[in-house]
Amino acid sequence: MEAKLKSLLLFVFCCASAVVRVTATTFAIYNKCTHTVWPGIQPTAGKPVVAGGGFRLPPNKAYSLKVPAGWSGRIWGREDCSFDATGKGRCVTGDCGGALACNGLGGTPPATLAEITLGEQDFYDVSLVDGYNLAISVTPFRGSGKCSYAGCVSDLNEMCPVSLQVKSRDNRVVACKSACFAFKSPEYCCTGSYGNPQTCKPTAYSRLFKTACPKAYSYAYDDPTSIVTCSGGSYIITFCPHH
């Protein structure tokens, strides 16, 4: 599998080094899960929608896309989706308004997020602030600087507290809510009098997420070292990286 992944990524990035950085950066979105994932891509306000904002990605397949200089946004995986010929339908987790092409809409929490901001120096992280639905990693390719790995590779659905669980019709735990989404309280959401790093501290729930995924953001004011930087790289966003 690793040899197959290596050849796949070399193919995806074969021309990336020839692309002038001021024009585009390559993202390779790779589904290493044993099931189909429907990636969703939401740009930050004012940035362009890429790849229609969403598409279907079968197991062990990669999708390569170019994103323009200065782009920023988030990428997540939708699961257990069903769409008709016009692209209308729904997903059990990460749904974006019942459409195959999210077209600028974000995913319904809980969903694991890969967040990337491109610039002279790129910033990226994997966030559990909106909860968790599947494992994601972000790996830079041919960049300069620290350029380390970011991700959440543990299956949080297996250890999700009952009060945070989202279950499918057949009673499987398919996602794990954030404490903010589940309880809507300022303490968990870092709002109101808790709206700053001095008053909004880790909770038992965010600590559970952090212990399972130490390289991911677990709540709004989590350790800034969860953000990784790199310059001039392209990025591999992998679903189920340890499969």
Q: Which residue has the tokens 């809409």?
A: 105
When pLDDT is averaged across residues 99-112 and rounded to a whole number, the result is: 97
pLDDT at 156 over 70: yes
**What residues make up the domain containing 111?**
2-239
Number of structural domains the chain divides into: 1
Q: What percent of the chain has pLDDT over 90?
A: 83
What confidence score (pLDDT) does residue 17 get?
41
pLDDT at 32 over 90: yes
pLDDT at 230 over 60: yes
What confidence score (pLDDT) does residue 15 get?
45
pLDDT at 9 over 70: no
Give 31-67 as a 3 state SS string.
Answer: ECCCCCEEEEEEECCCCCCCHHHECCECCCEEEEEEE
What is the C-alpha to C-alpha distance for residues 62 and 75, in angstroms, rounded to an integer? 14
Could you read off the pLDDT of 39-75 as tens digits, one per residue?
Answer: 999 999 999 999 999 999 999 999 999 999 999 999 9
What confidence score (pLDDT) does residue 101 get?
97
What confidence score (pLDDT) does residue 97 get?
96
What band does 24 get if pLDDT is binned at 50, 70 and 90?
A: confident
Task: Say if residues 12 and 28 touch (Cβ distance below 8 Å).
Answer: yes
What confidence score (pLDDT) does residue 8 get?
52
DSSP string, 130-199: T-BSS-EEEEEES-BSS---EEE-S-GGGT--GGGEEE-TTS-EEEE--HHHHH--HHHHT-GGG-STTT
pLDDT at 129 over 80: yes
What confidence score (pLDDT) does residue 10 get?
52
5, burial (CB in 10 Å: exposed 0-12, middle 13-18, buried 19+): middle
Q: What are 138's two structure tokens?
A: 């972000």
What confidence score (pLDDT) does residue 23 get?
59
What band does 151 get if pLDDT is binned at 50, 70 and 90?
A: very high
Q: How many CB atoms lie within 10 A of CB 165?
A: 16
Domain at 77, CATH number? 2.60.110.10
**Lowest-confidence region among 4-13, 121-130, 150-159:** 4-13
